[in-house]
Structure 1
Amino acid sequence: MTVRQTEIKLSPRPRGFHLVTREVVAQLPPLPRQGLLHLFVKHTSCGLCVNENADPDVRRDMRAIFDRLVPENRPEYTHTLEGPDDMPSHAKAVISGVSLTLPVTRGRLNLGTWQGIYLCEYRDCGGPRTLVATVVGEGGDDE
């Protein structure tokens, strides 16, 4: 059983749901024959999820849904010093979550045909994002 860990840097993106599967896979260490990939985003105003990877309408609709669920400029928000998108971004991150665990099979992520990894960016200008990728498995290069 091996464990490998690395940090993945994602370029800044505007508010929205962004398909980042290729960008993540390109920065991963070698994957084992079988195991798990755990991804954790080191920020409190964005999230990670798995969803539709083909039709960009899904990403647009997800943004609309989340913006409707957690609107900006609510009078009950007290955490407002960093702008109207700050407190809603924290609440949205709680809803989406900040980590994923994905299966690895035959040295590849075992995602469904229409599944991809999303960075859920909840800030208008969130900046670059950092993920911690932990790969656990057996049957890799050094076994």
Structure 2
Amino acid sequence: MRQAARTLTLQTPGQGLHEITREVCGWAYGQGMSTGLLTLFCRHTSASLVIQENAGPDVRRDLEDWVAAVAPESAAYRHQDEGPDDMPAHLRAALTGVQLSIPLFDGRLVLGTWQGIYLFEHRRRPHRREVALHLLGD
């Protein structure tokens, strides 16, 4: 059994789904393992990780609109230390999650035909985000 780890650093332009599939798959493939399990962990409380369709951009826009409706900006939140998008960002991250696990078969991540890996930025302004990658396998 082998393991490999890396921190992927990303600069987001602001709110939205930012696809990281190419970077993650390329790194996993480069580890030379045949079978295993990749864990991705977002090291933030106002951004998250999701696997979602990467073919139709309307899917991403609809998902962004849905989380904005479920956790809207509001003056009613007590926590607004960094502005009105602060608490909604925490709620959106809690709803969508900060960790993913993806199997590795035959040296490649087992994603479906239309599945992509996304960092979901929930803050309006650009941020530097870190995603920890850990691959366990052989």
- 2:97 maps to 1:105: no
- 2:31 maps to 1:30: yes
Name the CA distance, whole Å, in 2 between partners of 1:78 and 1:62: 26
1:15-65 residue CA offsets vs partner (Å, 9 max, x unmatched): 011221113234445151001000001011000010101111111111100
- 2:121 maps to 1:121: yes
Q: How many residue pairs get matched?
A: 137
Name the CA distance, whole Å, in 2 between partners of 1:78 and 1:93: 17
Name the CA distance, whole Å, in 2 between partners of 1:83 and 1:70: 15
Name the CA distance, whole Å, in 1 between partners of 2:37 and 2:13: 27
- The alignment's C-alpha RMSD in Å is 1.3
**Structure 2: runs of 5 or more not aligned:** none
Name the CA distance, whole Å, in 1 between partners of 2:2 and 2:38: 12
Give the structure-1-normalised TM-score. Answer: 0.90
Kindly indicate whether the alpha-carbon contact (under 8 Å) linking 2:12 and 2:18 is maintained by their aligned counterparts in 1.
Answer: no
Equivalent residue number for residue 57 of structure 2: 56
Q: Which moved more, 1:38-47 or 1:119-128?
A: 119-128
- Seen in structure 2, the aligned counterparts of structure 1 residues 89 and 71 have a Cα distance that, compared at 3 Å, is same
- 2:5 maps to 1:5: yes
Equivalent residue number for residue 141 of structure 1: none
Give the superposition deviation at 1:74. Answer: 4.0
Name the CA distance, whole Å, in 1 between partners of 2:38 and 2:120: 19
Q: AA paired with 1:54?
A: A
Give the superposition deviation at 1:126. Answer: 4.3
Give the structure-2-normalised TM-score. Answer: 0.93
- Seen in structure 2, the aligned counterparts of structure 1 residues 81 and 98 have a Cα distance that, compared at 3 Å, is same
Equivalent residue number for residue 95 of structure 1: 95
Q: AA paired with 2:73?
A: E
**Structure 1: runs of 5 or more not aligned:** 139-143
Kindly indicate whether the alpha-carbon contact (under 8 Å) linking 1:10 and 1:23 is maintained by their aligned counterparts in 2.
Answer: no
